[in-house]
A and B are shown apart, each in its own frame.
Chain A
């Protein structure tokens, strides 16, 4: 049994992770800590956990902590968890600067705790099936990949530069950048991006972009991370990957398993019935911690995705393709 704490519910995925922890036989959600005392008490009551301060959480006997604070605060929180000897599952993006990412990884390594990045999309069964086909050679030689992670504009701190580190490009590039690295088993060597704020008036961050990435193995790919789904869209967005190979083209829609529900007056909606990627990811994380092993998705994976984001912003500024900031092994 792994005793787990949760640090912050700023990111809405925390709600789902808490739900899932309650249903994971090998895990127990013991403590919830949040700098917002009202939210902390509400969540603790909802999930049957203790409502403590972050200080108390760090001094408790939990073995692992799920960090779901605002993007730019991940680094301080993860480092604090590491120094307290706790394994960490950090919400994506791991960090919004290279320095932050490196200091998180180093702190965890020094403390001898495991760090994992919550790249849940690897756990979507349609995505995993496509990954199996890709890695199993069913597509032949892979030439190119087209990927999207569209979404509705989340608002709140996601649209505040100081807390999110950027807009749509930070929020929605990392999942697919990670998927591409995982599918291709290769690292990005060049990133080109067009980035702008064109959809939502008065936003202080970018809301649309188009990234082109070239990998060490010669594969080229694009990612559309735009918050281009309007409020009336039947779903929050998408995660899609099209892989073009010498023997086959495979197109996968990670959230394509939906029912369409039409209301009398309300806009039509897609209701997802596919398997919960959150449950599969948390299960894997807990199982690894219980066995004393590094969970499958590492802090390094998180940092690599952040490097793509930072290269994209710099590329858009320069209108030139750029190498991701740091590709040292």
Chain B
């Protein structure tokens, strides 16, 4: 039996806690959040789970084996480091850190403590992306030439509105497009050059949008579109890989096999709405939790290594720099 402590009890903290708790060998033992109410709410979902507003209190507990870090981005590294130094394995939400310096300190702590770290690059557990990877590995589109992805949503809102503070979150590129940057690296290999345009530094009200061009060492070209400019509740993803033998396409808009077209309520208090769904046997986050625990138990490598998480962070920071300076940035 492994006992888990959650640091950061917002949306993702609750998601991971629920998915981990569903596993036989896991017990959620502690919840920490600067907002004690949020910690208590999470703790209240699990028998014997205690809440604190001080992460240090949770980190000092010797009965906790695994720490889940789901705080705002700029504090990920410090909690990873603190947990590692106390001999705890860590699951951290992406991105690994806000800066490469933070990331390297955290990775050094993980290395020297001999604990294990997995960063939540959850696209590795989404069946559409896993299947696309299989299709690519089978050579069905040949050698990849041009890859395009889109990840489009409304602007996220959370405590202190920290997503809107790019000093803390890194904006759309570091918070959300890190998924696609990691995906491009997963499919195409290491990246050589990045050129990006974004609204991140324009000081707009809850609006960000970015278009990123990447050149892989393999020669392949990639294009990433990201939006935090859609109406709240929208979420659209697209993927396309063109190779010398074919083309692979995915669009969440057309791959939603279930649609609820709800009429407005009689008094129109509840507006009419169309909600698409794509149900799968187990959610990507559930698969991610299972993978994390199984790899810890069996000593197997994680699907996403700490180095992969660092590489994605490096590309995201390069894209941010390019969008700030107007110049391409060479990686490594």
Q: Does A associate with B in a complex? A: yes
Q: How many residues of A contact B (CB 8 A)?
A: 34
The answer to whether A214 and B197 touch across the interface, beta carbons within 8 angstroms, is yes
Task: Return the CB mask of A288-329 against B: 1 if under 8 Å, else 0.
Answer: 000000000000000000000000000000011100000000
The CA-CA distance from A230 to B207 in the complex, in Å, is 36
Task: Return the CB mask of B214-229 against A: 1 if under 8 Å, else 0.
Answer: 0100011101010101
Residues of chain B lying within 8 A (CB to CB) of residue A244: 209, 227, 229
By size class, the interface of chain B is 20 to 34
The answer to whether A228 and B199 touch across the interface, beta carbons within 8 angstroms, is no
Report the nearest B residue to A224, measured CB to CB.
B223
Asked if B100 CB lies within 8 Å of chain A CBs, one says: no
Interface set, chain A 198-224, CB cutoff 8 A to B: 198-201, 207-210, 212, 214, 220-222, 224
Asked if B168 CB lies within 8 Å of chain A CBs, one says: no
Asked if A284 CB lies within 8 Å of chain B CBs, one says: no
Task: Return the CB mask of B125-152 against A: 1 if under 8 Å, else 0.
Answer: 0000000000000000001011010001
The answer to whether A210 and B221 touch across the interface, beta carbons within 8 angstroms, is yes
Asked if A106 CB lies within 8 Å of chain B CBs, one says: no
Asked if B292 CB lies within 8 Å of chain A CBs, one says: no
Given contacts A143-B207, A210-B146, A214-B197, contact A226 B219 (CB under 8 A): no
Asked if A50 CB lies within 8 Å of chain B CBs, one says: no
Q: Chain B binding site: helix, strand, loop or mixed by DSSP?
A: strand
Most buried by A among B204, B246, B328: B328
The answer to whether B197 and A226 touch across the interface, beta carbons within 8 angstroms, is no
Interface set, chain B 191-205, CB cutoff 8 A to A: 193, 195, 197, 199, 202, 204
Report the nearest B residue to A211, measured CB to CB.
B213
The answer to whether B145 and A228 touch across the interface, beta carbons within 8 angstroms, is yes
Asked if A52 CB lies within 8 Å of chain B CBs, one says: no
Residues of chain A lying within 8 A (CB to CB) of residue B307: none
Q: Chain A binding site: helix, strand, loop or mixed by DSSP?
A: strand
The answer to whether B242 and A144 touch across the interface, beta carbons within 8 angstroms, is no
Asked if A117 CB lies within 8 Å of chain B CBs, one says: no
Residues of chain A lying within 8 A (CB to CB) of residue B230: 249
The CA-CA distance from A192 to B215 in the complex, in Å, is 12
Report the nearest A residue to B150, measured CB to CB.
A146
The answer to whether A199 and B242 touch across the interface, beta carbons within 8 angstroms, is yes
Asked if A73 CB lies within 8 Å of chain B CBs, one says: no
The answer to whether A212 and B211 touch across the interface, beta carbons within 8 angstroms, is yes
Residues of chain B lying within 8 A (CB to CB) of residue A198: 143, 145-146, 219-221, 244
The answer to whether B213 and A226 touch across the interface, beta carbons within 8 angstroms, is no
Residues of chain A lying within 8 A (CB to CB) of residue B328: 192, 319-321
The CA-CA distance from A198 to B143 in the complex, in Å, is 8
The CA-CA distance from A232 to B220 in the complex, in Å, is 22
Given contacts A144-B197, A146-B225, A319-B328, contact A200 B244 (CB under 8 A): yes
Task: Show the binding face of A for B, using Cβ within 8 Å.
Answer: 143-144, 146, 190, 192, 194, 196, 198-201, 207-210, 212, 214, 220-222, 224, 226, 228-230, 232-233, 242, 244, 246, 249, 319-321
Task: Show the binding face of B for A, using Cβ within 8 Å.
Answer: 143, 145-146, 148, 152, 193, 195, 197, 199, 202, 204, 207, 209, 211, 213, 215, 219-221, 223, 225, 227, 229-230, 242-247, 326-328
9 CB contacts below 8 A, A to B, read A144-B209, A194-B213, A208-B145, A208-B221, A230-B245, A244-B209, A244-B229, A249-B229, A321-B327
